[in-house]
């Protein structure tokens, strides 16, 4: 894979920027946007960016930091789900806590924001408490957003409980957008200021990239990724007016900045930030080393997002405008679905086979197809074909023993859970066969080489096949057609 991003440089200058900011205060509340552990979006559009770079970088600072996680009570009540993981926000919060603790980070607490006495939320709080995790409850801030005097008072932010912290750097993270990170930071700053602590606020969000052009593919890929939130990139007018420099931000931050600035000015009794861009510490734009490679990766990601939202529309998870807005981004970049070169082979193979479900996958420069058979799902077929090629195993060699497959198939039929093996079952069967079959062992060893490969299904992937392809780190797109069988 050609690199377009210098990860080593990024770690160095990003760490320095964060240290520079928190050294200005006795205590810094750093709102961390996006994913703390697995920033797969950044890794896909910035080849060379390591998806665990954020947490790796914070590990260098972990003696000086602790973490607060926020979750919106309404998201718990609605069972809001992280689409890429298929788990609810409350489950993701617990996962984030467990991962942080395993890496030696100090997890301070969980803040439940916009609490309204929901029964499901009370159950979640009990679960946290039983696991020794401190919880704090924040309700809607009185006076927000217009009455700044009330907001910055004991009736507003002062009505929230004060969270005791001991480190100079406090990361405030959440399982997804709209979780109340900013309000939590501001509430804490109000309490800290009353206690005579010089506490600051800053924002660490990777996208959009403030020092790239407004319509750069990296920033357009961010718009595609947040199409369901209706985010739009804009030139930061406050930054332009103050400094005469164009900087990119997005509509929600720009729209709320006048309110935020009024609140911060009232807390500090002086100007701290003159623009939403001032609040950020993001240095990712300084680490792109090959713009052509990055632009190509961004175009592919936008098409993936288009297919994903088209599928979400088909199954009722988003509105029509979501995928149509991404299509407009594709038009702006003068690309269509054919830019992903696995799509046409998949559709051609399906047509040739008489509408049988097909998955195409690109490994290196070679494209493989796999069709649904009486024995295997299309995803199972294509992965077997790909790892045979990677392992240099002749086509006529059978890696799956009938003595292993027959009992699995009989069990599935008897339980009424299908009559062919999905990808996960194929890999389990292959692992069993590898004990006595050296070819199967060789094929299993080549599975990590599928990471980052492109694949396209002629139907909406669901269940085990979808999850298994994700676990293999394969970039998958799907036609918005339901599988009959």
Distance CA 329, CA 318 (A): 18
Distance CA 166, CA 173 (A): 17
pLDDT value at position 27? 95
CA angle at residue 372 from 301 to 458, to 5 degrees? 30
Under the banding of pLDDT at 50, 70 and 90, the label for residue 463 is confident
Kindly report the pTM of this predicted structure. 0.92
Query: Across 287-377, where does the E strand assignment appear?
Result: 358-363, 366-371
Comparing CA positions, the residue from 481, 483, 476 lying closest to residue 456 is: 476
| One fold for 7-287 and 340-478 | no
CATH class of 7-287: alpha beta
Which positions ≥6 away from 74 have C-beta within 8 Å?
114, 116, 118
Cα–Cα distances in angstroms (integers) from residue 441 to residues 269, 375, 376, in the given order = 67, 21, 20
| pLDDT (tens digit per residue) in 362-403 | 999 999 999 999 889 999 999 999 999 999 999 888 888 888
Comparing CA positions, the residue from 322, 287, 292, 306 lying closest to residue 209 is: 287
| pLDDT (tens digit per residue) in 387-443 | 999 999 998 888 888 888 888 888 888 888 888 899 999 999 999 999 999 999 999
306-311's contacts with Cβ under 8 Å and 24+ in sequence apart are 306/224, 306/330, 306/337, 307/337, 307/477, 307/478, 307/479, 307/480, 308/83, 308/477, 309/227, 309/228, 310/480, 311/460, 311/478, 311/480
Distance CA 388, CA 391 (A): 5
Identify the CATH number of the domain defined by range 340-478: 3.40.140.40
Under the banding of pLDDT at 50, 70 and 90, the label for residue 85 is low
Q: At 60, give phi and psi (nearest 5°).
A: -70, -20
- What's the mean pLDDT in 344-355? 95
pLDDT value at position 379? 97
pLDDT value at position 441? 95
Residue-averaged pLDDT of the chain: 94
| pLDDT (tens digit per residue) in 152-181 | 999 999 999 999 999 999 999 999 888 999
DSSP string, 188-234: HHHHHHHTT--EEEEEE--SS-TTS-TT-HHHHHHHHHTGGGT--EE
CB of 169 within 8 A of CB of 30? yes
pLDDT at 485 over 80: no
Comparing CA positions, the residue from 206, 204, 203, 202 lying closest to residue 288 is: 206
Q: Report domain extents, the chain.
A: 7-287, 340-478
pLDDT at 56 over 70: yes
What 3-state class would DSSP assign to 65?
strand
pLDDT at 86 over 80: no
Count of alpha carbons within 13 angstroms of residue 310, beta-carbon side: 19
To the nearest whole percent, how much of the chain has pLDDT over 90?
84
């Amino acid at each position: 894979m050609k690199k377009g991003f210098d990860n080593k440089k990024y770690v160095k200058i990003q760490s320095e920027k964060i240290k520079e900011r928190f050294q200005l205060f006795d205590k810094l509340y750093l709102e961390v946007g996006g994913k703390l552990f697995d920033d797969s979006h950044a890794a896909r559009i910035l080849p060379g960016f390591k998806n665990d770079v954020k947490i790796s970088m914070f590990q260098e600072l972990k003696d000086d930091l602790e973490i607060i996680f926020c979750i919106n009570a309404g998201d718990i009540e609605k069972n809001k789900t992280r689409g890429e993981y298929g788990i609810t926000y409350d489950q993701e919060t617990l996962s984030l806590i467990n991962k942080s603790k395993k890496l030696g980070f100090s997890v301070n607490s969980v803040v439940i924001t916009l609490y309204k006495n929901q029964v499901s939320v009370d159950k979640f709080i009990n679960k946290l408490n039983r696991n020794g995790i401190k919880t704090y409850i924040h309700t809607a801030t009185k006076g927000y957003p217009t009455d700044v005097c009330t907001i910055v008072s004991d009736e507003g932010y002062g009505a929230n409980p004060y969270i005791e912290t001991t480190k100079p750097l406090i990361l405030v993270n959440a399982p997804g957008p709209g979780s109340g990170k900013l309000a939590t930071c501001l509430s804490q700053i109000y309490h800290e200021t009353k206690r005579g602590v010089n506490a600051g606020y800053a924002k660490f969000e990777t996208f959009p990239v403030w020092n790239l052009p407004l319509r750069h593919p990296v920033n357009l890929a961010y718009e595609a990724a947040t199409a369901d939130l209706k985010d739009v990139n804009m030139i930061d007018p406050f930054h332009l007016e103050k400094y005469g420099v164009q900087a990119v931000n997005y509509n929600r931050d720009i729209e709320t900045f006048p309110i935020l600035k009024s609140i911060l000015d009232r807390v500090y009794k002086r100007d701290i930030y003159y623009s939403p861009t001032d609040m950020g510490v993001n240095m990712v734009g300084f680490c792109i080393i090959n713009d052509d490679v990055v632009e190509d990766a961004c175009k592919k990601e936008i098409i993936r997002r288009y297919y994903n939202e088209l599928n979400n529309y088909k199954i009722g998870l988003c509105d029509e405008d979501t995928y149509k807005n991404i299509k407009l981004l594709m038009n702006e970049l003068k690309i269509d679905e054919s830019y992903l070169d696995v799509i046409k082979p998949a559709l051609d193979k399906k047509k040739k086979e008489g509408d049988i479900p097909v998955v195409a996958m690109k490994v290196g420069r070679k494209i493989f197809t796999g069709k649904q058979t009486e024995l295997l799902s299309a995803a199972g077929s294509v992965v077997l074909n790909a790892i045979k090629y990677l392992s240099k195993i002749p086509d006529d060699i059978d890696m799956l023993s009938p003595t292993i497959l027959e009992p699995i198939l009989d069990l599935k039929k008897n339980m009424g859970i299908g009559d062919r093996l999905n990808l996960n079952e194929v890999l389990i069967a292959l692992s069993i066969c590898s004990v006595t079959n050296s070819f199967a062992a060789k094929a299993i060893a080549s599975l990590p080489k599928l990471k980052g490969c492109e694949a396209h299904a002629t139907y909406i992937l669901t269940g085990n096949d979808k999850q298994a392809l994700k676990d293999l780190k394969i970039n998958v797109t799907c036609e918005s057609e339901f599988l009959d069988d």
